[in-house]
Chains A and B, each alone.
Chain A
Amino acid sequence: MREGGIGAAVKRKEDFRLLTGRGTYTDDIARPGELFAHMLRSPHAHAAISAVDISAAEQAPGVVAVLTGPDADADGLGGMPCGWGITSRDGTPMVEPKWPVIAQETVRYVGEIVAAVIAETADQAADAAALIHVAYDSAPACVQTARATEADAPRVHEAAVGNICFDWDLGDKEAADSAFANAAHVAALDLVNQRIVPHPMEPRAAIAEFDVAAAKLTLHCTGQAAHAMRLLLGAFVLNQPEHKFRVVCPDVGGGFGTKVPPYCEYAILCWAARKLGRTVRWTGQRAECFITDTHGRDHATKCELALDGEGKFTGLRVLTTANMGAYLSAFAPLIPTYLYATLFAGQYTTPAIWTNVKAVFTHTSPVDALRGAGRPEATYLVERLVDEAARLSGLDPVEIRRRNMIPADAFPYQTPVALLYDSGEYERALDIAVETSGWNDFEARRRDSEGAGKLRGIGFAAPIEATGAAPSAIAGSLGARAGLYESAQVRFNATGTVTVFVGTHNHGQGHETTFAQLITDKLGVPLENVEVVEGDTDRATMGMGTYGSRSLSVGGSAVDRAMDKIVEKGRKIAAHLMEASVEDVEFDSGTFTVSGTDKSTSIAEVAFAAYVPHNYPLEELEPGLDEQAYFDPVNFNFPYGAYVAEVEIDPETGRLSVERFTAVDDVGNIINPMIVEGQVHGGVVHGIGQAVCEQVVFDDSGQPLTGSLMDYTLPRADDVPSLTLDHTVTPCPMNPLGVKGVGEIGAIGAPAAVMNAVVNALAPLGVTHVDMPATSHAVWQAIQNARAA
């Protein structure tokens, strides 16, 4: 292994600045003469606006402008765009109502912006906003996912009959129905995958600047995808041409999906900066983030799994109602469709699958991607059904999985729900998890708990996901309104150092280190001589950003391609320098050698010759050693795992603790094992959080009851155990690095493993299902219900 290259657990290059308080997050940036925006937000989930009186606010000290919905119309602003269109099963396009950047006649969720105040200080802007009088006529709200399509549910958008955005299906209904008609057992569950907030620790923030002389707009913001942000805001909302619009996403304090889409606040700041010729900034309060950062999940599902007499899965049917919230956020329609139902085969050979998804509008905060985005919902229902199937058929949960797993020699494997799995050794991961978790010794631990008056349960889950989306052409045929390639530029500087520009974004994933390791490994440049640049549309040529665990498999592959071009050109330069023919020049670890001789030259010398071309084949070759590559994946990649959770429950109080957690993952080749383990740790605890404590709650009028950390439980250090990790390596054959995504798999596998453990613990009482989150109250209630039954 090369020092600092692929496979080395090198310490992160980004850590020194982040550990010494020298990071530059958006809110850390200060500009002379900047103005502050304050958003006045609707306190109603559903109301008609009859008047917005801004006269007092306009006269308040320090106020420069007060902007309202009609102002946005007058200035020709478009609505917030949606990046993915879904076609309903009857062939009609999804209902896509306009999402105005500032509400006009109607507000549709608590937190929707009704006016923006721009003032000299943040306090003055907030004080002035309190002087705006909005005349609301409040109306009943449609809030609950499962009831959104009922005949008497309040209508969210005139165009969406029954509040249905789209009614979509996938799979072969006839084949699935036939499997159920012939089933020996049918495992059926009604389950809720509850709404949760992404809650990156850094609140959203933005600063917009307008250079009047250059007619150029610059937006710094807390984003995961700078180029996509520029395209969506520039082309659809602001009519600001791309070449006159720079978006910079500097250090970003976590994303988890919610920082991918563009937001109304960013559009308003850009618009105000351009209108006023002044710099305008906004930083979200946590209370604002709780209601206006896009939320995640929120499905109500009826699902059933058919089995034959041998415990083999023969069919799966799923009916899901997915809550979109009040408006369609940029990638919302993609999540409960192609990122969800396409994973229903799980790790199994289930031959017949059919699903129907109804996406509904409600008077709640918009929903979009959240760590896993659709795939946690898929793994959760499949793995809960498998445990229910084990109970019905009397098989051990591990044994029933073993009987149904896709065998290692069956790849590539075409599932009945569109995906072609490329590789996997599922049973091997299962075996390791069984061994590492002490699955077979559980009974002894259960008895120990019993002796202490506690219930103990163990749960297995076999998560799978599709990451590294996707071939652009296929994505386009399924409704994507953008490409899904990645770009990378590898630039040698004259003195032999390297600058790498990638279209992805680092908000905790360690790209500055991992991408540099790729350079060190292939080009032999020491790690400290490599700088990775991301998140700036004026520096990285093009890009789609970081989400869906795509950065390494797509962006890293683009880096690899660009390095190949560097080596190809370098060989020609080296051949000239060494007076050899190009065919005789070999490259390895930073050195060009004439094969069969001791003649060699380093890539640093080649780079110097390329930029100081005194002795250089100028007739045949341009100067410079600077190459660009794009990578458009030929398929998704398919990380998978085998997870075991163990919980202990106090039956008197319902208090639950997660005692042990084992995660065995296969994410293909590993560049930096330290970083990969860190990604799994974070994902697993995100998933435990969903399983046992997190939940967004609205009351019947649409008021959010979980609007702060006082009311919404994020997992804390003493809510979770230390985690036991292991891995297998099945290289992905679909990209040059053999890698798969790792950022989400933990959050995909953990909820099912924990909830299977909860149900296992309560099984002696007759409990067969508990919805997430398994709070003390929920568990206590489940126990009471079981005792009363």
Chain B
Amino acid sequence: MTTVSMTVNGKQTSAECENRTLLVQYLREKLGLTGTHIGCDTSQCGACVVHVDGISVKSCTLLAVQAEGADVLTIEGLADGDALHPMQEAFRENHALQCGFCTPGMVMSAIDMVNRHESLDEKTVRHQLEGNLCRCTGYHNIVKAILAAAPVMKGQA
């Protein structure tokens, strides 16, 4: 067992972990942050995407010990009380979620996507979503939501 410490959603956290404990398990099982989901075991589905030091990461691909000292942002850390992040708001406005299981990973990936691009078009969004699977929405409204949120996040709308 190893003691692992990291900042999660602005708070200092620490827990005893096995070396094999994944970051997603640390978040869900040690911290009770169950908004980050596990949808597969081959790092394909993207339900577990969080931000580690500002970059989107599938938290099933990282051991908790590898995130020692990191600054982690999860879906629980996005909204300010009742005020949703512009990407969350765009998902709500555009009905970009149904069962909600892929949603946390989708939202975290989408924010990173907007951060990495000066501007986005539909083709780019669809391509960039390659690592996030959704079975409910057919992606149609997810694409719409991301395209709607991008200018808001960049202060252009």
Report the Cα distance A23→B129, complex, angstroms: 23
Asked if B99 and A685 sit within 8 Å, CB to CB, the answer is no
B16 nearest CB across to chain A (Å):
13
Asked if A678 and B98 sit within 8 Å, CB to CB, the answer is yes
Interface residue? A139 (CB, 8 A): no
Given contacts A20-B88, A21-B104, A722-B140, contact A254 B33 (CB under 8 A): no
Interface residue? B62 (CB, 8 A): no
Contacts of B84 in A (CB 8 A): 16, 19-20
Interface residue? B155 (CB, 8 A): no
Given contacts A720-B138, A723-B140, contact A25 B40 (CB under 8 A): no
Interface residue? A312 (CB, 8 A): no
* Interface 0/1 of A665-697, CB less than 8 Å to B: 000000000110110011111100000000000
Interface residue? B133 (CB, 8 A): yes
A681 touches which one: B18, B107, B122, B140 (CB < 8 A)? B140
Report the Cα distance A199→B122, complex, angstroms: 26
Asked if A18 and B100 sit within 8 Å, CB to CB, the answer is yes
Report the Cα distance A746→B137, complex, angstroms: 12
B92 touches which one: A19, A202, A203 (CB < 8 A)? A19
Contacts of B135 in A (CB 8 A): 199-201, 254, 256, 682, 686, 714
Interface residue? B74 (CB, 8 A): yes
Asked if B138 and A710 sit within 8 Å, CB to CB, the answer is no
Report the Cα distance A678→B129, complex, angstroms: 18
- Beta-carbon contacts under 8 Å, A194-246 to B: 199-203
Interface residue? A143 (CB, 8 A): no
Report the Cα distance A19→B140, complex, angstroms: 18
Given contacts A28-B34, A709-B40, A709-B44, contact A717 B101 (CB under 8 A): no
Contacts of A252 in B (CB 8 A): 99
Interface residue? A27 (CB, 8 A): yes
* Interface 0/1 of A694-722, CB less than 8 Å to B: 00000000000000111000101110101
Contacts of A25 in B (CB 8 A): 34, 37, 101
Asked if A254 and B37 sit within 8 Å, CB to CB, the answer is no
Asked if B136 and A716 sit within 8 Å, CB to CB, the answer is no
Asked if A678 and B100 sit within 8 Å, CB to CB, the answer is no
Asked if A201 and B47 sit within 8 Å, CB to CB, the answer is yes
B51-59, B63-71, B75-83 - the one binding chain A = B75-83
Asked if B40 and A21 sit within 8 Å, CB to CB, the answer is no
Given contacts A201-B101, A254-B135, contact A21 B75 (CB under 8 A): yes
Interface residue? B41 (CB, 8 A): yes
Given contacts A21-B34, A21-B74, contact A201 B102 (CB under 8 A): yes
Interface residue? A320 (CB, 8 A): no
B130 touches which one: A27, A201, A286, A717 (CB < 8 A)? A717
* Interface 0/1 of A275-300, CB less than 8 Å to B: 00000000101110000000000000
Given contacts A11-B93, A685-B139, contact A722 B44 (CB under 8 A): no
Report the Cα distance A18→B37, complex, angstroms: 12
Report the Cα distance A456→B125, complex, angstroms: 25
- Beta-carbon contacts under 8 Å, A241-283 to B: 251-254, 256, 283
Asked if B41 and A285 sit within 8 Å, CB to CB, the answer is yes
B20 nearest CB across to chain A (Å):
8
* Interface 0/1 of B10-51, CB less than 8 Å to A: 000000001010000000110011111111111011010000
* Interface 0/1 of A1-36, CB less than 8 Å to B: 000000000011011101111111101101000000
Q: Which residue of A lies closest to B138 (CB)?
A: A685
Interface residue? B114 (CB, 8 A): no
Given contacts A20-B88, A201-B134, A708-B40, contact A254 B101 (CB under 8 A): yes
Contacts of A19 in B (CB 8 A): 75, 79, 84, 88, 91-92, 97, 100, 103, 107
Q: Which residue of A lies closest to B32 (CB)?
A: A30
Interface residue? A123 (CB, 8 A): yes
Given contacts A19-B84, A28-B34, A717-B126, contact A681 B137 (CB under 8 A): yes
A201 touches which one: B45, B78, B129 (CB < 8 A)? B45
A682 touches which one: B78, B91, B98, B126 (CB < 8 A)? B98
Interface residue? B148 (CB, 8 A): no
Asked if A18 and B97 sit within 8 Å, CB to CB, the answer is yes
* Interface 0/1 of B109-123, CB less than 8 Å to A: 000000000000011
Interface residue? A358 (CB, 8 A): no
- Beta-carbon contacts under 8 Å, A648-673 to B: none
Interface residues on A, range: 35 or more
Report the Cα distance A200→B101, complex, angstroms: 9
A754 nearest CB across to chain B (Å):
13
Report the Cα distance A681→B122, complex, angstroms: 16
Given contacts A685-B138, A686-B135, A709-B40, contact A21 B99 (CB under 8 A): no
Given contacts A509-B98, A718-B126, contact A708 B42 (CB under 8 A): yes
Report the Cα distance A12→B100, complex, angstroms: 12
A565 nearest CB across to chain B (Å):
32
Main SS at interface, chain A: loop
A545 nearest CB across to chain B (Å):
15
Interface residue? B8 (CB, 8 A): no
Report the Cα distance A27→B140, complex, angstroms: 28
Contacts of B45 in A (CB 8 A): 201, 286, 709
Interface residue? A508 (CB, 8 A): yes
Report the Cα distance A123→B143, complex, angstroms: 38
- Beta-carbon contacts under 8 Å, A157-208 to B: 199-203
A28 nearest CB across to chain B (Å):
4
Asked if B40 and A286 sit within 8 Å, CB to CB, the answer is yes
Interface residue? B5 (CB, 8 A): no
Report the Cα distance A674→B137, complex, angstroms: 12
Interface residue? B142 (CB, 8 A): yes
Asked if B41 and A717 sit within 8 Å, CB to CB, the answer is no
Contacts of A723 in B (CB 8 A): 138, 140
Contacts of A714 in B (CB 8 A): 133, 135
Q: Which residue of A lies closest to B94 (CB)?
A: A674
Interface residue? B141 (CB, 8 A): yes
Interface residue? A535 (CB, 8 A): no
Q: Which residue of B lies closest to A288 (CB)?
A: B41
Contacts of B126 in A (CB 8 A): 717-718
Contacts of B140 in A (CB 8 A): 681, 685, 722-723
A-B contact pairs, 25 of them (CB 8 A): A19-B84, A20-B35, A20-B79, A20-B84, A20-B88, A21-B76, A25-B101, A27-B34, A28-B28, A200-B101, A201-B37, A201-B136, A202-B39, A251-B99, A254-B98, A286-B41, A509-B98, A685-B138, A685-B140, A708-B42, A709-B133, A710-B44, A716-B139, A718-B129, A720-B139
Report B's interface with A, CB cutoff 8 A: 18, 20, 28-29, 32-42, 44-45, 47, 74-76, 78-79, 82, 84, 88, 91-93, 95, 97-104, 107, 122-123, 125-127, 129-130, 132-143
Report A's interface with B, CB cutoff 8 A: 11-12, 14-16, 18-25, 27-28, 30, 123, 199-203, 251-254, 256, 283, 285-287, 507-510, 674-675, 677-678, 681-686, 708-710, 714, 716-718, 720, 722-723, 746
Given A19-B92, A20-B78: 20 more A-B contacts, CB < 8 Å: A11-B92, A12-B92, A18-B103, A19-B79, A19-B88, A19-B100, A21-B35, A23-B100, A25-B37, A201-B47, A202-B39, A253-B37, A253-B39, A254-B101, A285-B41, A286-B39, A507-B99, A710-B44, A717-B129, A722-B143
